[in-house]
Chains A and B, each alone.
Chain A
Amino acid sequence: MQQDYAGIGIFFLIAAVFPMIVLATAWLVRPKRPSPEKLSTYECGLETQGSTWVQFKISYFLYALIFVVFDVETVFLYPWAVRFSSLGLFAFVEMVIFIAILVIGLWYAWKEGALEWM
C-alpha cells in the first residue's frame, strides 16, 4: 500500500526540483545590465502609487471562513459516504442532523450578508 505513494513522492520531488533548475539556468545564461528604466514596475504606463502591501476587504476573510467550515464538514461526509450501505438508517439520521446544524450556520451567514460582495 505504501509503495503506491512512491509515485506521488517522485512527482513532488520533480515538481520541486524542476523550477529550481530552470530558474538557475536562466540566472546563469542571462545578461545582467540593470538600468533604472528596467527596474521600474511598468516601463510604459502609469507610475504605481503607494506600497504593494495594502489592506484587503473583510469579505475575503468571511468567504475563507465559510470555506473552512464546509471543508471540515467534508472530512466527516467522506467516510460516511464510503460506508453508506452497511451503516444503515441510524447513520443516515445522524448525518442529516449533522448537516442540518451546519445549514443553520450557512443560513445565518446568508442572512448577515457574509456571502455578498460589499
Chain B
Amino acid sequence: MITLYHYLILGGFLFCIGLYGALAKRSAVAVLMGIELMLNAVNINLLAFNRFLNPGDVTGHVFAIFVIVVAAAEVAVGLALVINIYRDRMTTQLDDFDWLKW
C-alpha cells in the first residue's frame, strides 16, 4: 500500500538531487536543470498533500499550476541571462562569472 509518506520521501529525494545539481555543477545551464528538478519535487509534494489530506478540493492543483508558470518564466529569463553573459565572456562556467568580486 502506497501512503503519503512514500510520495513525500520521493519528493524529498528529487529535491536533494536537484539541490546537488544546483550546487555542484559548473555549467549555468546544468544549474537551471537542477532548479527545475527542485520545482518538480515541490509540485509532487503539493499534489500528494492535496490527494491524501484534502481530496475533495483542488487547492494543491492550483498552487502547482502557479509553480509551473513561475518555473517557465524563471527558465526563460535565466537562459536569456546566460546567453547575454556568454556573448560578453564566451563562457557559461559559473566560476568565471566574477564581476562582483575584487
Report A-B touching, CB under 8 Å.
yes
Interface residues of A (CB under 8 A from B): 58, 61, 65, 68-69, 71-72, 75-76
Q: In the docked arrangement, what's the CA distance between A75 and B72, Å? A: 12
- Chain B interface size range: under 10
13 sampled A-B residue pairs with Cβ under 8 A: A61-B80, A65-B76, A65-B80, A68-B75, A68-B76, A69-B72, A69-B76, A71-B72, A72-B69, A72-B72, A75-B65, A75-B69, A76-B65
Interface residues of B (CB under 8 A from A): 65, 68-69, 72, 75-76, 79-80, 83
Question: Interface SS of chain A: helix, strand, loop or mixed?
Answer: helix
A-B contact number at CB 8 A: 19
Are the CB atoms of A68 and B83 closer together than 8 Å?
A: no
Contact partners of B65 in chain A: CB under 8 A = 75-76
Are the CB atoms of A75 and B76 closer together than 8 Å?
A: no
Q: In the docked arrangement, what's the CA distance between A41 and B79, Å? A: 33
Contact partners of A61 in chain B: CB under 8 A = 79-80, 83
Q: In the docked arrangement, what's the CA distance between A62 and B90, Å? A: 19
Which residue in chain B gives the minimum CB-CB distance to A65? B76
Contact partners of B79 in chain A: CB under 8 A = 61
Q: Across the A-B interface, give the 8 residue pairs with the lowest CB-CB distance, nearest first.
A: A72-B72, A65-B76, A68-B72, A72-B69, A68-B76, A75-B65, A61-B83, A75-B68
Q: Tell me, rounded to whole Å, the shortest Cβ–Cβ distance linking B64 to chain A.
A: 11
The CB with the most chain B CB atoms within 10 A, among A68, A69, A71, A72, is that of A72
Q: In the docked arrangement, what's the CA distance between A116 and B68, Å? A: 28
Which residue in chain A gives the minimum CB-CB distance to B71? A72
Contact partners of B80 in chain A: CB under 8 A = 61, 65
